[in-house]
Structures are given as structure tokens and as C-alpha cells.
Structure 1
């Protein structure tokens, strides 16, 4: 069981984070300041340190030097995002912006621990065997992505060829397919590997702030700009800038980004001076940028600048040879992380994994297995713990000996869940905020955003639907 140290002076935040991590099978210790952490604990003995940036007495970055080989994850507000990027240059493993939701924090923790302890995972026979079946022994170790099917092997070959160059790369694929993993592989195999990789989700930053966040601003550039601040493009100088969901970038910001690609320079908001930057750009999207450019929703000149190298990441349903192997690797990893004896899937669960459509792709598969491991009480994971709607899958029904329904020329009266979601959002988004839409649908705002991305439903840029 991984042991995590939380250093946070706000008692409410510290307690909430502790409960979240303990519910997910982590051992947790806590402190209210750097001094308290140093006096009470041997910091290098932890598997991970999660610290607020601003603490009484000394900043959270002081823990980086005290932690030795233990990774330090910095928490910060959007207002201090630039300082968080600086902390990465000092040696922090990553940063996470407040307020964060639970899934975002758990995904960050799981990824950091997984990257830190590959040797420990390899010592587990189940992980080792599952990894070999998944093709990790076929030259994908240095890439860090599971996959032995022809499409993934072709992708791995392209990553190895493209990574050493400084060419701009456009990664295309559905939400949850692992586009950020491809970006990390391109960065880690490049000459920029020791410099920062700055990841930005263009859809997650309010449109009114995105130019300032990316390109920085001068004092007085707009109301509230009490001091000048560098942007994330500038923070990535010498390294790699990964722009996820670039199709959501406003046209004004696209023009500024084009200047970065053409001239290798940026101009902060409110400034008349330009400055040179050395940044490799990797972009990702689930949308058809060419069609958006044709319709005037994306700059055509920027599209062609981005489309120097295009990598397509296949959906999980297109990777039939990989699905069950990936599931076995995830199962072994979760068991090792939670300190449990090795579990196995029941025959019915394994068959369902192979037949299910996985609309949320690899992310949905990993989350389903993590939940199943937490809830499992026996040595096998039954189908019901996976929480997948296999009864809606036409290919799976005959496997249970059921007869397929007779063909009918009558139109279906019931909408599918995805059809209902799309119908509801399109009908109500003109007069409801994102918060109200999510509440009516019974989901979180993050889940609402992810489903929008998967179904290609853009948010309204103006009007009553905006609550940012």
C-alpha cells in the first residue's frame, strides 16, 4: 500500500484529501507546514508527497529538496499557476490546479506512483506475465503504452521516428484513448526530455482567461492584472508544450499560437514587445480540425502548421487483440497498488470485457477495474462489479444463449443513453448553465464536459448557457 504525505495548512482541504486517498486504499500522513513535516517524518520514506504551494513559514517547493527521490506533487490555484510551473523546474513531479475534482486528483496520484515504481510492479509475477502478453516485451517499454495489435505497433514505430525531431505533432483520437501518454512518450524520447513538459487542456480554461494563461500578460493589461505574469508557453521554453483539445481554442488565441509556430516568439497580452521562445508544440484533439477549418471555426493556416506530423490513436473497440491483455495488466497493477492478493476475472467478466464497446476507451476500462478491485471480496472479479452495460451490446447477448430480437422495420421509440444526453444538452443549453445541465442529468460538470468531447457537442460561446 502506497504511503502518501499531505502538507496543507487548510485543515478542511487536508482532511478532505486524506479521506479521499484513504477511501482509495492509500496510507496517509499529514502535516500543516514544511517545518512540521520535517520534524515529524522522514520525508524520503514516503511514496509521494502532495503539498500546497503556499504554506506558512516556507513554500511547498522546499519539500522537493527534503524528499530525495520521493516525487512531490504541488497543489496551487490558477492565480499561482506560473509559480507551479516554476516548481516543476525545481524538481516537482507535476502540479494540479485548485479547485480539482476527486477523479483528477486520483488519476494524477495513480499515474505518478505507477511511473515511480515500474520495478516494483515488474516484481509481481501477474504484472510481469500480463505485460508480456500485452506486448510490453516487444519494444514498447520505453514508450510506456500497452499495445501489441498492428495499429499500436505502427504507432510505436512512428513515435520512435518522430520523437527525436522538433516537428510539430497533431495527435488525433477519441477521449480516453491516451493522447497525453503519446505526448509524454514523444517528450521523453526527445532531446528535450530534461526540460519541462507543460500540459494544457484548452477546454478546461475559461475563454476569457486562455490568452493570458498561455501567453502571459503585462501589468494593467486588463482589470485585475495587478502585476505582469509569464504564460505557459513561456514556461515551456526549452521543452515541450502539449495543448490538449486544441479544437476548443478561441480564434484570437489561435492567431497568437500561429505566431509562436511561424516566428518562434510570443507577445504577452498588453505588451508591444515580442520575445523569442524555443518550444516544441504537440497538440491533440478528438475533433475533425479540417472540417472545422472549412467551416471557419478553426484557422486553416494554423491547421496546416499543426498537421506536419499526424498520429492517430485508435479507439479501444478497434484494438480487439489488446483489450483483454490491457485489462489483465490493469488488474495486476491495481492489486499490487492496493496490497491485495492476485485476483482474476471470472469467465463471464473476461468475455464481457472483450465484447463491450468501451465508449470511454482505456480510461473507462481502467476506472472500471479499479472500482472492481476495491469492491471485490473473493478471488475472482464477477461481471457485475465491472459496472458495464453489456446487456445493451448486441454482440454480447448471444454469448448468454439468448436469441436476438426479430428484425423490425418500425423505428425505435426509445433513445439510447448517449442519444438522450445529446438531445437534452442541445435542447436546453441555450437557457441553462453548465452547472444546471449537469445537475439535471445527475452528473458532475467534469463528466458533462467529457461527454461533450466524446460526442462532439461544443459549448455555446455566449448567452445564458455560460457560467464561467
Structure 2
């Protein structure tokens, strides 16, 4: 539930907006002017929706005063220039009166979602050696991961972490455990792919003395060892079907039975699993139980591969390089410009783990105070060539490269679809914000479609 402030001098519009937003589980506060709005701590609201034309002080005065809270402005079609000015002052978006309820709600939810993603902060984690660490990365995908961890950790439910090898799935599991209500209880981590299939059931569920050849003493399983805490099963897709059936009973009944025993024991375990494989596809081929998949996938966290985190690569590299320099007593080593470019352009099939190994090699092999590309030992790197402007473009004012390459497509798409789509739908299809859509319309001289005003209803 978000806290929203509506600033509107027309009581009918203000009340209608309040009812609409409250029906969608938001907490709404009203104000009829900027002066009334400033009686509240406006920066603490999740969103402010304000008319531009207000008695006394204009609605644009709220934009700076409300920071960091986003401001969504309302205006009439006749005053669209004022909306553009408000966007330039920092308003997050605008809606035109009379607005469609569905479009308004979609805009509000989009702003609130972006705000939630932007405020995600990396969790602090204690590793198995007791060392404090932080997850690294500021890109939008990692902000989403941080937010999902923060919301999911206290909810005592099963979590499925998906991501390629080397993306940090165990770090996420540790963060979930350490921010949960079970933080003071054990966290038991098991890599299902690292245990032979003939031993996995015994490792997980334990066995009695004499249960099989070589079982010279009774053994407590890892599931029971995690009683009261969290069990993290990495590479869950490698778990044999017999062990899957036993694990399903743990989730359904909270019970385990050691191999060779007729007695069952109750356990209270939170299960976090991880995989780089498609469990639904495995279930279709009979390699993974579909009922177990549904039990595991109560909440899902997806870790992005490093190649999709271009903005984070060098930041991660600098932190990992500093740690490697300390381990090998090579203080002051830096990456050369060419090495940094290689790190930026390399596709990283092994993700963060491969990056860490490359920097380790660089620290060991570097001759002077700089680490060069050959020291990193990466495979072939395909560099992204810079776009070369045409002679005509070179004489014109610099524009965004994306705008130059997409202008024709943008103009054709908007003119073809604007009669059937709302501004929000157009922006989504083009992969840009409504603000960006409006700015491009202005630059290319494409007028916004007119929407017929609805007749008053008696």
C-alpha cells in the first residue's frame, strides 16, 4: 500500500481520484492547494498527484519541495505546454484531463514500481568465515533483486533462486536467511550436484546403523541438522527422483524418516533452492516432479547474468581487484585502459566467478603497476565499435545516438498506432517512458492525438 497525496482545487475531481486510488489499496491524503499540501511532510509520501493550475502558488512549486517523492502532474490538453515545462522541472510524468481511469492507474503503478526498484539497497551478508560483505551492483535488475530479498526474507516461505552458474545464488540464500526470523538458527548449504547419487539421500535425510553396506553408525541428515533454521539446496535440478519424493514429504508434512528407520521425525525447516536449469522443462521430460516444483516455487528470485549488467562490471571488477591485491600482497595494482575496455566488452559466460578468476590471474601475472589484457587471459573479445556519424550529421548539433537510429521507426510506429493505443501503450511498445515519448513527439513535430471529451452525465 502506497501513501499518495492528491493536490487539486476542484473537490469533485479530488474526491473521484481519492475513491479510485483507495479502491486499489492506496492510502490517500487530500489538499486543495500548495499551501495546504505543505502542511504535511510531503517528501514522505510515495507519490504526489498535483494539478498545475492551483489557487495561489502553482503546482510546479511542489516538484522541488517534495523531493525525493515523485510528482505526477495533471493538466488539460489546452495547457500541454505547462506539462512539458513541469517535466523539465523534474515531474516524473503527466496525465491529461479528462483522463482515462485505467491509464491513470497504470501510470501510478508504473511510477510506484520504479520508485520501489530505485530504493532497493544491497543487503549486508556474513559469509561462512564470518566476514561481512555486500552484494555489488546498482543496475535496475539488481535493484529488483535487493527489493525482492527485502520483501521475501521475513515471509517464512520457500524460495526458488534462478540464475546462471557464477551469478551469486548462494549469496542471495545467505541474505534471505540472515534477514529472516530464523537468522539465529543454522543455515545449512548443500550442493546437490557435488554429492554422488548413491549418497544424496543418506546425506540429506540420515541413516540408521546397518541401513546399508558401510553404515557402521547412525548419522543425522542435513535436513534434520537445519531444524529451526534454513536449508539451502543448490542445483536442485540434479536431485534424484527418489530424493525428490522424500523432500516433498518434508515440505508437505514437515516429516523425515532416516534410511533404515520406521520412525518419522518432525522438522521445522525453511527451504531455499537454486538452479540454473528450467525445472518446468525437466518436469515435462519426467526428470523433476511437477508437484515438488510448485512447492519450491512459492517465491522466485531471478539473478541476471553479468553480460546484462554492463553498468556494474567495472564496479565489481574494482572491488574484486582490491581483494585480490590484498591476498597476493600486490598493493597499488591498477587495470590499464585497454584491460578495462576488455572487461566491459567480454560476454562473461562464467559470470562473476569468471571475472574474479580473470582478476586473480591479472594480479599474479602483472609485471609492473598495471594489469594489461594479456594478463587477464580472457578469450576473444569483440569490441563494440563506436558509431561513426555521417558527414551531414557531423555538421548538425549532437543528438542521442539512439534517437538518430530510431527516428524513422519511431515516427512511422507512432503515426500508425496512435489512434488505437494510449500514450502509455505506445511508450511501452517502444520501450521508452511517457516523458521520452512526449519529448520525441515535440522534436519530430508529431502532434498527440486528440481524445474526445466525454459528455457530462446527469
Q: Which TM bucket (shorter chain)?
A: 0.5 to 0.7
Structure 1 residues 226-258: Cα deviation after superposition (integer angstroms, max 9, x where no partner): 221110101111111110000000000000000
Checking the alignment, whether the CA contact within 8 Å between 1:217 and 1:270 is kept in structure 2 is: yes
Q: 1:152 aligns with which of 130, 142, 147?
A: 142
Q: Does 1:139 align with 2:129?
A: no
- Counterpart secondary structure, 2:272: strand
CA distance in 2, matches of 1:280, 1:302: 15
Q: 1:192 to 1:339 in 2, by over 3 A?
A: same
Task: Show the counterpart of 1:327.
Answer: 317
Structure 1 residues 260-307: Cα deviation after superposition (integer angstroms, max 9, x where no partner): 000111010111111011111000000000011111110010000001
Backbone CA RMSD of aligned residues: 2.0
Q: Does 1:170 align with 2:152?
A: no
CA distance in 2, matches of 1:139, 1:156: 6
Task: Show the counterpart of 1:232.
Answer: 222
Q: 2:295 aligns with which of 293, 296, 305?
A: 305
CA distance in 2, matches of 1:222, 1:138: 50
Task: Show the counterpart of 2:356.
Answer: 366
Checking the alignment, whether the CA contact within 8 Å between 2:160 and 2:273 is kept in structure 1 is: yes
Q: Which is bigger in relative contact order (C-alpha 8 A, separation at least 6)?
A: 1
CA distance in 1, matches of 2:253, 2:299: 19
Q: What are the within-5 Å matches in structure 2 for residues 103-142 of structure 1?
A: 139-142=121-124
Task: Show the counterpart of 1:99.
Answer: none
Task: Show the counterpart of 1:274.
Answer: 264
- Counterpart secondary structure, 1:241: strand
Note the C-alpha offset of 1:138: 7.1
Q: What are the within-5 Å matches in structure 2 for residues 273-292 of structure 1?
A: 273-292=263-282
Q: Scaled by the length of structure 1, what TM-score is found?
A: 0.54
- Counterpart secondary structure, 1:139: coil
Task: Show the counterpart of 2:308.
Answer: 318
Q: Does 1:264 align with 2:254?
A: yes
Checking the alignment, whether the CA contact within 8 Å between 1:200 and 1:242 is kept in structure 2 is: yes
- Counterpart secondary structure, 1:228: coil
Query: Between Structure 1 and Structure 2, how many residues are aligned?
Result: 263
Q: 1:138 to 1:171 in 2, by over 3 A?
A: closer
Q: What are the within-5 Å matches in structure 2 for residues 190-201 of structure 1?
A: 190-201=180-191
Q: 2:177 aligns with which of 157, 175, 187?
A: 187
CA distance in 2, matches of 1:284, 1:164: 19
CA distance in 2, matches of 1:317, 1:172: 16
Note the C-alpha offset of 1:317: 0.4
Q: 1:138 to 1:306 in 2, by over 3 A?
A: closer
Checking the alignment, whether the CA contact within 8 Å between 2:188 and 2:230 is kept in structure 1 is: yes
Note the C-alpha offset of 1:225: 1.3
- Counterpart secondary structure, 1:171: strand
CA distance in 1, matches of 2:120, 2:358: 27
CA distance in 1, matches of 2:123, 2:193: 31
Q: 1:309 to 1:141 in 2, by over 3 A?
A: closer
Note the C-alpha offset of 1:390: 2.9
Task: Show the counterpart of 1:412.
Answer: none
Checking the alignment, whether the CA contact within 8 Å between 1:352 and 1:390 is kept in structure 2 is: no
Note the C-alpha offset of 1:141: 4.8
CA distance in 2, matches of 1:322, 1:152: 9
Task: Show the counterpart of 1:223.
Answer: 213
CA distance in 2, matches of 1:229, 1:334: 39
CA distance in 2, matches of 1:257, 1:139: 33
CA distance in 1, matches of 2:380, 2:281: 34
Structure 1 unpaired stretches of 5+: 1-136, 402-468
